[in-house]
Structure 1
Amino acid sequence: MGIYKHYFHKYKWLFITAVSCVFFEAICDLLQPTIMAHIIDEGVKNSQVGTVLKLGLLMLTITAVGACFAATRSVLASKVSQSFGADLRYDVFTRIINFSEISADKIESGSLITRMTNDISQITQFINGMMRIFFKAPVTCLGSIILAVVLSLQLSSILFLVIALVAIFIVISMRLSYIRFAKVQYAIDKVNTVVQEYLMGIRLVKAFGRYKDEEEKFDRTNSDLANKTVSSQMVIAYFSPLMSLTINFGIALILYVGSIFFGRGDIEVGKVAAFINYMAQILASLIMITNVFNTFVRTKASTERVNEVLNSEEDFKGSEQTPGQGLGELAFEDVTFAYPSGSGIPIIKNLSFKIKQGESLAIIGPTGSGKSTLVWLCLHFYDLEKGTIYLNGMDIKTIDCNALRDQIALAPQKSMLFTGTILDNIAWGNPQASKEEIIKAARVAQADDFIQLMPSQYESNLGQGGVNLSGGQKQRLSIARALVKQAPLLILDDCTSALDAVTEAKVRRGLRTMDADKTVIMITQRIGTAMFADKILVLDNGVKVGFGSHQELLESCNTYKGIFDSQIGGDMKGVAYGTGN
């Protein structure tokens, strides 16, 4: 419950004021049955109209004061709970932004959405209810018990028996509810995940005609959620009527025993009526307490899930050092890496290589050889199992992650665009870039031609994920976004796969003319792209099997020669083409 302590200090005085209003409101409610008893026993019984009017006016005044306290605590409860929820959502989102890749891999995006919405809403409702009901119910219940005992010690034995039975029911209900409500939250996660996966792959589902499978998958998760929700509600369905029956049985027993005492002259009618009113207040308070405990059970599960996000591992901070400005020298030294949540088998094994500032490096190899993994390691998304990566002569572990990533521009394998204009999407790589710089980057990325044909050109709006663009257009915008960042190290992670050979060659020539000192790493499956790089790294199953120029690898690396032969052919014309520009 650490998050409650953290935010309590921020809203301490509002919270204390609201609780004070709740306390005085409860006192006003507790005074009314006692005043009513005096009205009956002193005014009605003795036909004293003045006493009835005086005490009646007092009761109305106390009721009005109680209503003022109730209105004040409701306003404060709403303000505090909604502010608490807004702050908590902001902090959770901030933590998600700073997630390490290990944390991002551990908690699914669908589950994160549920925790940001459903779970935090549950916590907000609990805070609101706690300030409005939770403090009032115990005060009213305890005050009613004390005043009932003062009225009649003999009838109080029935009261204590009823309270003991209801307390037992509450404890059993809580123990049964907690596990069930926790399962409900995880079932909501699964529903969100299924819907999210469908929306992300909607075109693929349509292309393969897998509507029925998606419907069945959703039906299973939806039915599972419904069943778990029914199971959790059944606990309340059984115990709430049982508690009401017990308390109402206690009221009936008090009426019976009270009538016997009244017949013997041991108690007055007003006191019996007041005792029944206190019993009714105790009934209402116990029902409120039961509801609060049921809400608490749900909130406890939600709090643990939110705390899991808040306590997740953050991105690597390093020692706030910067890797030097305008440089792009990169070196791997005996690097071995396996994904923490994977099989444990290393993806990269004992890898060493070095590229200097201004050089271009192509990384090529069979699918699954660890090419893209190198990108995530360069950006320090994961810690190494063994070895060191140096940027400008500095171990990247010692560099602040934000400073490190400022030196690297990435065009990822899967182009990701955002809702907004084309200009906004390119400028996303560098918000301070001028429009001239954005247009220049678009021209180098060969995106300016198709942008100029659009109705609003650079102000044209893109749908979510760039759904109104082709795959090649998305890739060219992604490359332009990386270029406009003007980082000394540019990484192109197979981001030209949707481009034809002519367009790719234009992009490649544009990169050379844009900045001669820029270090470029190209991850590619195409030998026609790799052969123009200054150095080529050949990977096979995470192991370096070749490193050098195109001609050197043709002579010394069988894996590279095999890729070359399969894509271009082994004739001298192909080799000559490999040495061209």
Structure 2
Amino acid sequence: MIKLFKRLKPYSWGIIIVLVLTFIQVLGQLYLPTLMSNIIDKGVVQGDKPYIWKTGGLMLLLSAGAVILSVIIVYIASRISMGFGRDLRDKIFTQVENFSLQEFNKVGTSSLITRTTNDVVQIQNVLYMMLRMMVMAPIMLIGGIIMAVGRDAKLSLIFVVVLPILLLLVVLLGGKAMPMFKNLQKKMDKLNRVIREGLTGIRVIRAFNRNQDELNKFEEANNDYAVTAIGVNRLLSLMSPLMMLIMNLTSIAIVWIGAHFISEGNMMVGDLMAFIQYAMQIMMSFMMLSAVFIFIPRAGASAERINEVLDMSAEILDPNAPKSADSRAMLEFQNASFRYEGAEKPVIADISFKAKAGETIAIIGSTGAGKSTLINMVPRFYDTENGAVLVNGVNVRDMTQEELREKIGLVPQKAVLFTGDIESNLLYGKEDATEDEMWRALEIAQAKDFVSKLRKGLHSRVEQGGNNFSGGQKQRLAIARALIRKPEIYIFDDSFSALDFKTDAKLRSALKSEVENSIMIIVAQRITSVVDADQIIVLNEGKVAGIGTHSELKESNEIYREIMRSQLSEEEIA
């Protein structure tokens, strides 16, 4: 947590103001019992009414001043803690945006969401408590002890017994709470994951009547979290009554011993009342410290998880001396291999092929053959383990990620649309696109018909994930977003799967004239989507099983013929 708090430098002046104002506020509160003692011993006992009014007025002024200072301190402390939380979320999100798919796989999406939200809130809360209580409590504790000793040194010996007992109580409960808080955060990750899966997969769950199974899974994760949370809170709930018990026993002891001192003439009534007030302030300061120390373990667990994300080095970085690629469209794989972390064997191995402007490259193969992994290496979502990927004659490792991705128009396997409207989604492809360019892209993507029929056209609402559109409509909008970019390399990752054969054929026909100066890479399951390609790469278990045109592979490649036989009739094959 100390490592995180080093990031508080921008708020240094605010923290200094809080410290100074808190110090002044506590000094005023520490002076109040002395004034009350004086009223009793000098005013009430001696019957001096003007002194009572004068001192009472001073007490009122000090109390009003303390209230005003408290409001200012709360305001500044709130701004510091909220601002720090905002900055922390911003840093986490920026860091996550730079992650490759490898880092996402390591941490998990659900855990990243929890760390960006719940964990940051824990840090915010503990920072606010520290600015308010952890600053005030030590000053009040030390000041209270000094003032109490000044009133009666002998009676102050009671704190030699009480304070170690309170300290032991805080250490024991805090030490036991720390591992429980860490466990609690992990169980929240699990609960978030179960909820997320249940919500995103609701159609599948209902289609297979697995509602009860998912409910059981949720209840298990929810109960697991609840049991741990109840255990932690049960432990913490012991703190307040035990401390109140010690405080009340201390008060009784002070009154009992003080009464003996008064009867012996060694102490005044006002001094005893002031001493009781100082004792309460000392105990309250200890309670404040204990409250902070109880929450610090939970914040410590959250800080550890946040630092894990912030300290995680992205595997894919821009080079120190980047090279600029030519504008001529060219793509080359040179013996490229890749394996996922911890995997026994590569997902793809020794892949080599070339493509130049105007060519269409199709990649086909069985499920799990490594098609999507292969194309993910072009925009450098993954880096090759061996070999190289060259774009326009330059190794992708030697280019900045921004320049590389400016040259690529990607349509992912699962069409992703963002909340907003159709126009804002198309502008993801090209920020300064004109309305004419948008309609042109929609026309080529065979989406113009259904968009023009919508009441608001380009300004029609897109719900989260594009859930107010069909699968085919989402795919066509995602294709239009890539087309509007006019990149040098188009990548269609099984992007025509939700289209009917007629729309698929019309789209591929319209694409031909649009991509004359670009390379088009198509990952497909259908033979009909690849027959017109200039090169068809057949993948099998991560290796190239054949490269050629449809006619060449039909004659010479057994795996390609098997795929054809599984999809086409004998007449169509012939």
TM-score range normalised by the length of the shorter chain = over 0.9
Gaps of 5+ in 1: 576-581
What is the correspondence of 1:185-264 to structure 2 with a 5 Å cutoff? 185-264=185-264
Change (3 A) 1:443 1:196: same
What corresponds to 1:327 in structure 2?
A: 328
Classify the secondary structure of the residue corresponding to 2:423: helix
Cα offsets for 1:6-26 (capped at 9, x unmatched)? 442211111111111111100
What is the correspondence of 1:59-208 to structure 2 with a 5 Å cutoff? 59-208=59-208
| Stretch deviating more after TM superposition (180-189 or 28-37) | 180-189
What corresponds to 1:574 in structure 2?
A: 573
| Stretch deviating more after TM superposition (435-444 or 559-568) | 559-568
Q: What is the rounded CA distance, in whole Å, between the counterparts of 2:430 and 2:115 in structure 1?
A: 31
Cα offsets for 1:268-317 (capped at 9, x unmatched)? 22211111111111111111111111122221112222222222333422
Q: What is the rounded CA distance, in whole Å, between the counterparts of 1:60 and 1:469 in structure 2?
A: 67
Please report how far the alpha carbon of residue 2 of structure 1 lies from its aligned counterpart in structure 2 after TM superposition. 5.5
Q: Which amino acid aligns with 1:339?
A: Y
Contact 1:323 1:404 in 2 (8 A): no
TM-score calculated relative to the size of structure 1: 0.95
Contact 1:84 1:124 in 2 (8 A): yes
Cα offsets for 1:328-357 (capped at 9, x unmatched)? 2111111121112x5332100122111122
Please report how far the alpha carbon of residue 47 of structure 1 lies from its aligned counterpart in structure 2 after TM superposition. 2.2
Please report how far the alpha carbon of residue 174 of structure 1 lies from its aligned counterpart in structure 2 after TM superposition. 1.1
Q: What is the rounded CA distance, in whole Å, between the counterparts of 2:346 and 2:259 in structure 1?
A: 83
What corresponds to 1:368 in structure 2?
A: 368
Q: What is the rounded CA distance, in whole Å, between the counterparts of 1:287 and 1:348 in structure 2?
A: 61
Please report how far the alpha carbon of residue 320 of structure 1 lies from its aligned counterpart in structure 2 after TM superposition. 5.9
Q: Which amino acid aligns with 1:393?
A: G
Please report how far the alpha carbon of residue 4 of structure 1 lies from its aligned counterpart in structure 2 after TM superposition. 4.2
What corresponds to 1:579 in structure 2?
A: none
| Stretch deviating more after TM superposition (485-494 or 80-89) | 80-89
Cα offsets for 1:535-578 (capped at 9, x unmatched)? 1111100011101222222232211122223322455x635xxx
Classify the secondary structure of the residue corresponding to 2:238: helix
Cα offsets for 1:440-485 (capped at 9, x unmatched)? 1111111112222222232222222222222111111111111111
Cα offsets for 1:110-141 (capped at 9, x unmatched)? 22222222221222222222222220111101
Classify the secondary structure of the residue corresponding to 1:523: strand
TM-score calculated relative to the size of structure 2: 0.96
Q: What is the rounded CA distance, in whole Å, between the counterparts of 1:319 and 1:555 in structure 2?
A: 48
Contact 1:141 1:281 in 2 (8 A): yes
Change (3 A) 1:459 1:67: closer
- Runs of 4+ in structure 1 deviating by more than 6 angstroms, as ranges, are none
Classify the secondary structure of the residue corresponding to 2:547: strand
Q: What is the rounded CA distance, in whole Å, between the counterparts of 2:281 and 2:140 in structure 1?
A: 7
Q: How many residues align?
A: 573
Q: What is the rounded CA distance, in whole Å, between the counterparts of 2:522 and 2:42 in structure 1?
A: 96
Classify the secondary structure of the residue corresponding to 2:312: coil
| Stretch deviating more after TM superposition (468-477 or 488-497) | 468-477
Classify the secondary structure of the residue corresponding to 1:353: strand
What corresponds to 1:578 in structure 2?
A: none
Q: What is the rounded CA distance, in whole Å, between the counterparts of 1:68 and 1:4 in structure 2?
A: 31
Q: Which amino acid aligns with 1:506?
A: K
Q: What is the rounded CA distance, in whole Å, between the counterparts of 1:406 and 1:379 in structure 2?
A: 9
What corresponds to 2:299 in structure 1?
A: 299
Classify the secondary structure of the residue corresponding to 1:261: helix
What corresponds to 1:512 in structure 2?
A: 512
Please report how far the alpha carbon of residue 411 of structure 1 lies from its aligned counterpart in structure 2 after TM superposition. 0.8
What corresponds to 1:271 in structure 2?
A: 271
What is the correspondence of 1:14-53 to structure 2 with a 5 Å cutoff? 14-53=14-53
What corresponds to 1:350 in structure 2?
A: 350
Q: What is the rounded CA distance, in whole Å, between the counterparts of 1:461 and 1:21 in structure 2?
A: 51
Q: Which amino acid aligns with 1:334?
A: N
Q: Which amino acid aligns with 1:458?
A: L
Contact 2:407 2:487 in 1 (8 A): yes
Q: What is the rounded CA distance, in whole Å, between the counterparts of 2:324 and 2:194 in structure 1?
A: 42
Q: What is the rounded CA distance, in whole Å, between the counterparts of 2:164 and 2:448 in structure 1?
A: 78
Contact 1:261 1:267 in 2 (8 A): yes
Contact 2:357 2:516 in 1 (8 A): no
Cα offsets for 1:39-67 (capped at 9, x unmatched)? 22222222222332232222222222222
Change (3 A) 1:569 1:2: farther
Please report how far the alpha carbon of residue 68 of structure 1 lies from its aligned counterpart in structure 2 after TM superposition. 2.4
Contact 2:412 2:492 in 1 (8 A): yes
Identity of aligned residues (%): 37
Cα offsets for 1:374-405 (capped at 9, x unmatched)? 12111111222211111111111111111111
Q: What is the rounded CA distance, in whole Å, between the counterparts of 1:528 and 1:85 in structure 2?
A: 53
What corresponds to 2:410 in structure 1?
A: 410
What is the correspondence of 1:550-561 to structure 2 with a 5 Å cutoff? 550-561=550-561
Q: What is the rounded CA distance, in whole Å, between the counterparts of 2:253 and 2:544 in structure 1?
A: 87
What corresponds to 2:317 in structure 1?
A: 316
Classify the secondary structure of the residue corresponding to 1:9: helix
Q: What is the rounded CA distance, in whole Å, between the counterparts of 1:413 and 1:60 in structure 2?
A: 71
Classify the secondary structure of the residue corresponding to 1:362: strand
Contact 1:319 1:400 in 2 (8 A): no
Classify the secondary structure of the residue corresponding to 1:345: coil
Classify the secondary structure of the residue corresponding to 1:10: helix
Contact 2:4 2:307 in 1 (8 A): no
Q: What is the rounded CA distance, in whole Å, between the counterparts of 1:417 and 1:64 in structure 2?
A: 56
Q: Which amino acid aligns with 1:317?
A: D
Contact 1:322 1:403 in 2 (8 A): no
Please report how far the alpha carbon of residue 148 of structure 1 lies from its aligned counterpart in structure 2 after TM superposition. 0.8
| Stretch deviating more after TM superposition (107-116 or 273-282) | 107-116
Q: What is the rounded CA distance, in whole Å, between the counterparts of 1:192 and 1:20 in structure 2?
A: 42
Q: What is the rounded CA distance, in whole Å, between the counterparts of 1:364 and 1:524 in structure 2?
A: 6
What is the correspondence of 1:525-536 to structure 2 with a 5 Å cutoff? 525-536=525-536
Q: What is the rounded CA distance, in whole Å, between the counterparts of 1:387 and 1:483 in structure 2?
A: 30
Contact 1:316 1:380 in 2 (8 A): no
| RMSD, matched Cα | 1.7
Q: What is the rounded CA distance, in whole Å, between the counterparts of 1:567 and 1:195 in structure 2?
A: 38
Does residue 1:460 correspond to 2:427, yes or no? no
Gaps of 5+ in 2: none
Classify the secondary structure of the residue corresponding to 1:332: strand
Q: What is the rounded CA distance, in whole Å, between the counterparts of 1:21 and 1:4 in structure 2?
A: 25
Classify the secondary structure of the residue corresponding to 1:11: helix
Q: Which amino acid aligns with 1:532?
A: D
Contact 1:361 1:520 in 2 (8 A): yes
Q: Which amino acid aligns with 1:381?
A: F
What corresponds to 1:426 in structure 2?
A: 426
Cα offsets for 1:141-191 (capped at 9, x unmatched)? 111011111111111111121011101111111101111112222222222
Q: What is the rounded CA distance, in whole Å, between the counterparts of 2:120 and 2:80 in structure 1?
A: 14
Contact 1:323 1:392 in 2 (8 A): no
Q: What is the rounded CA distance, in whole Å, between the counterparts of 1:421 and 1:233 in structure 2?
A: 45
Q: What is the rounded CA distance, in whole Å, between the counterparts of 2:446 and 2:321 in structure 1?
A: 37
Please report how far the alpha carbon of residue 93 of structure 1 lies from its aligned counterpart in structure 2 after TM superposition. 1.8
Classify the secondary structure of the residue corresponding to 2:124: helix
